[in-house]
A = this chain, B = another copy of it.
Amino acid sequence: METLSPLDRLLKLVGKLPGIGPRSARRVVLHLLKKRDALLQPLIDALIDVRDHLKTCTTCGNWDMTDPCQLCQNPKRDDSVLCVVADVADLWAMERSLAFQGRYHVLGGTLSALDGVQPEHLRLESLVKRCTTGVVREVVLALNVTIDGQTTAHYIASLLHPTGVKITRLASGVPVGGELDYLDDGTIHTAMQARMAV
């Protein structure tokens, strides 16, 4: 193994982050080095802080400083509706939209034959368990409208069917602000099929 200089090692690591190539990595590292007190040191502190204090909520799979997480602890949220998301990123997106006031369940991915993600790799067992306590009345499957997302949704639906809870999914159709001219055929087709009375 070749020994890299600390600077090259940092450049290589930053270049591995999603959306950052070798060129952006150089920009980021140079920026950090120019602002050592204002940015480099706080960034190191924040990374260490997150490394040391971030926990995975054993109830829902969210990441937070506490376990159970703030969302699971919040007494104002509706225990009877459970929103199933693939990832913490999706949970954050749902929370930003302010569209949902129930509890969450993070799967930790979606089923994928290509990537070898099998049902046992997802947090499905605890999902079924949460649905059999009698508290949960509805499960909203908020999964990506992709092959993998929809495969996972079907799998979960069949898994939860025996529990008797109501299973719903997010509507699909024309996104808000979307222009028909720029939409793919699949979305227009779906929106037409699911057309609503005005």
Contact = CB atoms under 8 A, between A and B. Distances in A.
Interface in A127-160: none
B92 A13 contact: no
Main secondary structure of the interface of A (DSSP, over half): helix
A28 B25 CA distance: 12
Contact of A54 (B6, B31, B51, B64): B6
A51 B46 contact: no
* Count of chain copies: 2
A94 to B, nearest CB: 13
Given A42-B13, A44-B44, A89-B30, A50 B6 contact: yes
A192 interface: no
Nearest to A9: B46
Interface of A: 5-7, 9-10, 13-14, 16-20, 24, 26-33, 36, 39-44, 46-51, 53-54, 63-65, 87-89, 92
